[in-house]
Amino acid sequence: MVNQATEVTINQAKLRIIQGDITRQGTDAIVNAANSSLMGGGGVDGAIHRAGGPAILDECKQIVARQGQLPTGKAVITTGGNLKAKYVIHTVGPIWHGGNKGEPELLASAYKESLKLAAENNLNSIAFPSISTGAYGYPVSQASKIAINAVITLLSHSTTSLREAVFVLFDSQTFAAYASALTDIGEERGLPLS
């Protein structure tokens, strides 16, 4: 029994949780909790565009011109602009409507599609925010379990290039929810925790 774990090992990969600002991460990619327009917004989306500069929005506009708005649960990749991270992976989480409108599947899909895109681009490391639990209103106790389960499942695929995934949680309540989910799910799956 561990008190509250902050790291779990899955084959050759590690999943960690930290409290902090995702715009400052030096992982190969950081994930943006975007909206379907890809035009920027509040919360983590606004913070990423502010820190990364106009090159990110330019690429987002080209993507929308080419393929239209980004559906919920899908992901696209752009430059990281001025960020330390080389890439931003933009995904759209579901808006919470009570839980019976496909929210769990759509949230899991946002994580899975982001991880798939990272692996297709041969990336080694990726950082996620807590998708959908801000303006989109997804209860963090439920969202944290879906997020951790989705990332562990994808990291356990032998073909992935990813060796490190980090959840960067902005506030202490969100961090506590993810710590509890990581501990419970790691124990359930019999994975080494620390």
> Is 28 a residue of the active site?
no
The reply to whether 43 sits near ligand ADP by the rule CB under 6 A is yes
Calpha distance 130→146 (Å, rounded): 11
The reply to whether 111 sits near ligand ADP by the rule CB under 6 A is no
The reply to whether 134 sits near ligand ADP by the rule CB under 6 A is yes
Stretch that binds ligand ADP, among 1-9, 42-50, 141-149, 150-158 (CB under 6 A): 42-50
Question: Do residues 172 and 131 lie in contact, with contact meaning Cβ atoms separated by under 8 Å?
Answer: no
Q: Which candidate, 119, 169, 117, places its Cα nearest to that of 144?
A: 169
The reply to whether 133 sits near ligand ADP by the rule CB under 6 A is yes
Q: Which of 45, 58, 171, 184 is catalytic?
A: 45
How many residues at the interface with ligand ADP, by CB under 6 A?
A: 21
What are the strands of the beta sheet with 75-79, ordered from one edge?
A: 7-10, 13-19, 164-169, 125-128, 29-33, 87-91, 75-79
Among 73, 81, 93, 186, binds ligand ADP (CB under 6 A): 93
The residue whose two tokens read 């032998």 is 158
Q: Is 60 left (phi over 0), alpha (psi -120 to 50) or beta?
A: alpha
Residues paired with residue 169 on neighbouring β-strands, in sequence order? 19
The reply to whether 45 sits near ligand ADP by the rule CB under 6 A is yes
| In the complex, least distance from residue 30 CB atom to ligand ADP, rounded to whole angstroms | 9
Residues 140-179 within binding reach of ligand ADP (CB under 6 A) = 168, 170-171, 174
Could you tell me the two tokens for 22? Answer: 């995702």
The residue whose two tokens read 């499942």 is 153
The reply to whether 33 sits near ligand ADP by the rule CB under 6 A is yes
C-beta of 106 vs 193, nearer to ligand ADP = 106
Residues paired with residue 77 on neighbouring β-strands, in sequence order? 89
Contact residues for ligand ADP (CB under 6 A)?
A: 21-23, 33, 43-45, 47, 93, 129-136, 168, 170-171, 174
Active-site residue set: 45
